[in-house]
């Protein structure tokens, strides 16, 4: 059993403090091979997980796509796991990046606009059915509509080989065997990136992880807020001081 604490997004200084880091650049745009190899070389002891390219999960928009320098194909075919050439190209690029980084986990995060309707659910299930067994896949569905009827999510996860990614302060994961938590801050709504976790928050998180470690082989705790570096370090210290991590 192992608890891994890291951040979503990083700078080179993170390489000296964390054993796992989630690559965000791979979500916003295709990352060139030289950059990926440089990260791998500079951080030989770091496990990288990657966030899949937004072309797979997000329809074209003026917000997240503003950071994508070179779009390709027809942008109307982007997102929501559509069975299009563009989504397939994006998947191929994501797989390429994962292989170069020797990443074993690929995270797919869908926006609230990806709703639990018949078309989207069929596209999602069909998409995951094409994936190889070379990686561990994780899906984070955002939006309240997915959680109004948990039977829908339970049915989907019974059909796809993927981990249910959640913020442990807001949801409980529906899958077993490995937990992948992404923490987006507390407050109204699902996201509050400016939030700084208090000692009380981190102690509560410790209790959640302590409960989970009895049933799961690995638990990833990934901070995705502005204060992620310090918050993750503080939580890592709590885990080590209380000797919860059997690897320590």
With bands split at pLDDT 50, 70 and 90, how would you rate the model's confidence at 187?
confident
Would residue 82 count as lying in a domain? yes
Q: What is the pTM of this model?
A: 0.95
Sign of CA dihedral 83, 171, 94, 24: positive
* Residues 56-94: tens digit of each pLDDT: 999 999 999 999 998 999 999 999 999 999 999 999 999
Longest dimension (CA), the chain: 53
Say whether 141 sits in a helix, a strand or coil: strand
Structural domain includes residue 246: no
DSSP SS3 for 140: strand
Q: Flag whether 228 is in a domain.
A: yes
Is 248 within a domain?
no
174 in any annotated domain = yes
Note whether residue 214 is domain-resident: yes
**pLDDT tens sequence across 88-142:** 999 999 999 999 999 999 999 999 999 999 999 999 999 999 999 999 999 999 9
CATH value at residue 149: 3.20.20.410
Number of domains in the chain: 1
Structural domain harbouring 136: 2-241
């Amino acid at each position: 059993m192992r608890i891994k604490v890291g951040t979503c997004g990083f700078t080179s200084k993170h390489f000296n403090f964390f054993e796992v880091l989630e690559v965000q650049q791979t979500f916003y745009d295709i990352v060139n091979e030289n950059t990926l190899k440089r990260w791998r070389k500079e951080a030989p002891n770091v496990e990288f997980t990657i966030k899949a390219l937004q072309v797979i999960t997000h329809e074209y928009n003026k917000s997240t796509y503003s950071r994508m320098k070179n779009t390709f194909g027809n942008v109307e075919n982007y997102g929501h796991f559509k069975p299009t050439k563009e989504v397939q190209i994006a998947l191929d690029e994501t797989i390429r990046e994962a292989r170069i980084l020797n990443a074993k986990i690929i995270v797919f995060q869908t926006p609230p606009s990806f709703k639990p309707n018949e078309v989207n659910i069929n596209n999602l299930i069909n998409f995951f059915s094409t994936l190889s067994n070379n990686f561990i896949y994780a899906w984070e569905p955002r939006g309240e509509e997915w959680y109004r009827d948990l039977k829908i999510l339970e049915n989907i996860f019974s059909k796809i080989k993927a981990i249910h990614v959640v913020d442990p302060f807001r949801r409980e994961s529906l899958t077993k065997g490995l937990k992948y938590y992404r923490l987006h801050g507390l407050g109204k709504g699902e996201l509050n990136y400016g939030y700084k976790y208090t000692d009380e928050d981190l102690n509560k998180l410790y209790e959640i992880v302590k409960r989970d470690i009895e049933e799961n082989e690995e638990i990833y705790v990934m901070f995705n807020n502005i204060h992620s570096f310090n918050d993750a370090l503080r939580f890592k210290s709590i885990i080590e001081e209380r000797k919860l991590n059997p690897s320590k």
